[in-house]
Structure 1
Amino acid sequence: MALQYDGAHHRTPAQQSRDIRRNEMFNAAGWRYFKFNADDLAGGFRSAVRRVGVALRS
């Protein structure tokens, strides 16, 4: 399992390309990954913690 936080620098085309390749590697390796952003941060990551908790219990 991988957790990611995408800050403002992930908005650039070059970073988005790197992110896509990284995400493809996670998928190929069979990883489950979660991507969080400023909306999650603003909510105190409560929803993010719930989502990860559900994944860990399944």
Structure 2
Amino acid sequence: MAAWARRQEGGTLRPPSEPLTQREKEAAALIAAGLTNTEIGEELFVSLATVNPMRPTSNAS
């Protein structure tokens, strides 16, 4: 989860001192609630291409 929290658009890692964006926090909460990528996309009004990099690889749906 720590690596995901530091991931920037494009898949590169950002410094751990850089806080999550509001959108990343929203996505993390929905992931923690057990929503699928499709459900998260619908909830946040974004495409699957936007949601997929937000989910840790080990928990991908």
How high is the TM-score relative to the length of structure 2? Answer: 0.29
The structure with the greater share of residues assigned to strand is: 1
Give the number of the structure with larger relative contact order, counting CA–CA contacts within 8 Å between residues 6 or more apart.
1
Please tell me whether Structure 1 or Structure 2 has the larger radius of gyration of its CA atoms.
1
